[in-house]
Amino acid sequence: MASSFGTAVRVSVFGQSHSPAIGCVVDGLPAGFVPDLDDLRSFMARRAPGRTGWTTPRREADEPRIVAGLNQRGETCGAPLAIIIENTDTRSRDYDDVLRIPRPGHADFTAQAKWHGHQDVPGGGHFSGRLTAPLCAAGGIARQMLAARGVRIAAHLLRVGSAADEPFCALAHDADSRRRLVGQLDALGDGRTFPVISMSAGDAMLAQIDDARSARDSIGGAVECVACGLPAGMGGPLFDGIESAIARIAFGVGAVKSLEFGAGADVAGRRGSQNNDPFDVVDGSYAPVKNDAGGNLGGITSGAPLLFRVAIKPTPSIAQPQRSVDIASGATTTLATHGRHDPCIAPRAVPVMEAVAALALLDSWLAFPPQAT
Segment 98 to 137, residues that bind a copy of itself, using CB under 8 A: 102, 104-107, 109-111, 113-116, 118-122, 125-127, 131
Least distance CB 156 / a copy of itself (angstroms): 14
What sign results for the dihedral spanned by CA atoms 332, 338, 339, 341?
positive
- Segment near a copy of itself (CB under 8 A); pick from 148-156, 176-184, 312-320, 347-355: 312-320
Q: Which of 64, 78, 229, 62 is nearest to 141 (CA)?
A: 64
In 10 A of CB 113, how many CB atoms? Answer: 11
Residue 328 in contact with a copy of itself, rule: CB under 8 A: no
Residue 38 in contact with a copy of itself, rule: CB under 8 A: no
Phi-psi region of 237 (alpha: psi -120 to 50; beta: other; left: phi over 0): beta
Least distance CB 276 / a copy of itself (angstroms): 4
178 within 8 A of 373, measured Cβ to Cβ: no
Nearer to a copy of itself by Cβ, of 299 and 351: the residue is: 299
Q: Which of 123, 202, 254, 339 is in the footprint of a copy of itself by CB under 8 A?
A: 254
Residue 325 in contact with a copy of itself, rule: CB under 8 A: yes
What whole-number distance in Å separates Cα of residue 235 and Cα of residue 230?
Answer: 11
Q: Which of 199, 270, 336, 338 is in the footprint of a copy of itself by CB under 8 A?
A: 270
What whole-number distance in Å separates Cα of residue 161 and Cα of residue 165?
Answer: 11
Nearer to a copy of itself by Cβ, of 140 and 161: the residue is: 161
x/- track of binding to a copy of itself for residues 192-221 (CB under 8 A): --------------------x--x-xxxxx
| Residues from 69 through 88 that contact a copy of itself (CB under 8 A) | 69-72, 75-82, 84
What whole-number distance in Å separates Cα of residue 278 and Cα of residue 292?
Answer: 10
What whole-number distance in Å separates Cα of residue 45 and Cα of residue 137?
Answer: 10
Residue 251 in contact with a copy of itself, rule: CB under 8 A: yes
Q: Which of 70, 267, 33 is nearest to 144 (CA)?
A: 33
156 within 8 A of 164, measured Cβ to Cβ: no
x/- track of binding to a copy of itself for residues 345-364 (CB under 8 A): -x------------------
311 within 8 A of 322, measured Cβ to Cβ: no
Q: Which of 60, 94, 165, 243 is in the footprint of a copy of itself by CB under 8 A?
A: 243
Residue 291 in contact with a copy of itself, rule: CB under 8 A: no
- Segment near a copy of itself (CB under 8 A); pick from 2-10, 36-44, 45-53, 142-150: 2-10
In 10 A of CB 273, how many CB atoms? Answer: 7
Q: For the residues of 119-179, what is the DSSP string, one character each? A: S--GGGGGGSGGGHHHHHHHHHHHHHHHHHTT-EEEEEEEEETTEEPPPPS-SB-SHHHHH
Residue 281 in contact with a copy of itself, rule: CB under 8 A: yes
Least distance CB 3 / a copy of itself (angstroms): 5
Q: Which of 123, 139, 195, 316 is in the footprint of a copy of itself by CB under 8 A?
A: 316
